[in-house]
């Protein structure tokens, strides 16, 4: 079995996330001139960020602070997606090292087995202990545990 292509997996994950069309800040309502006077002219409108990865969020306005939040938060989420995809690849590689066949019948050049004859350990523990999550923050470790739990469910 060839190794997982982490680059393709990361791109698919980011494009899928981008497809959710999440705006930052969430539930923003422009109150018209009430907030307009609080910002300097150069803060009200800046160049928008590219909607393509790694900017996986969309700014709700061209306000400087909305653009910056999209860049910062989007980068953190994009980095987590990269780490999670690396961890999944690591888990699959570790699983392949420990997987084994059982109850198969070998007939010359053929091996016949029933469904479930290939077994191996769960992926969750490998995802949680992956090198890509070694320096994760406490919150990122919670997200990593959620990813691991999703892959451990049968």
- Alpha-carbon Rg of the chain, whole angstroms? 22
User: Which range among 51-60, 84-93, 104-113, 122-131 shows the weakest confidence by mean pLDDT?
Assistant: 51-60
Give the up-direction half-sphere exposure of residue 137: CA atoms within 13 A in the CB hemisphere.
Answer: 6
pLDDT of the residue at 1: 64
pLDDT of the residue at 23: 84
Q: State pLDDT tens for residues 65-75.
A: 788 888 888 88
Cβ atoms within 10 Å of 87's Cβ, excluding its own: 26
């Amino acid at each position: 079995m060839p190794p997982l292509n982490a680059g393709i997996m990361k791109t698919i994950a980011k494009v899928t996330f981008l497809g959710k069309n999440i705006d930052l800040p969430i539930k923003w309502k422009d109150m018209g001139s009430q907030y307009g006077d609080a910002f300097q002219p150069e803060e009200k409108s800046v160049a928008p960020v590219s909607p393509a990865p790694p900017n996986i969020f969309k700014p709700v306005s061209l306000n400087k602070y909305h653009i910056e939040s999209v860049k910062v938060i989007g980068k953190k989420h994009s980095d987590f997606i990269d780490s999670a995809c690396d961890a999944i690849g690591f888990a699959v590689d570790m699983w392949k090292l420990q997987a084994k066949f059982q109850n198969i019948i070998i007939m010359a050049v053929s091996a016949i087995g029933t469904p479930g004859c290939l077994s191996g350990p769960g992926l969750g523990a490998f995802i949680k202990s992956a090198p890509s999550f070694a320096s994760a923050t406490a919150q990122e470790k919670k997200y990593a545990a959620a990813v691991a739990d999703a892959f451990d469910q049968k």
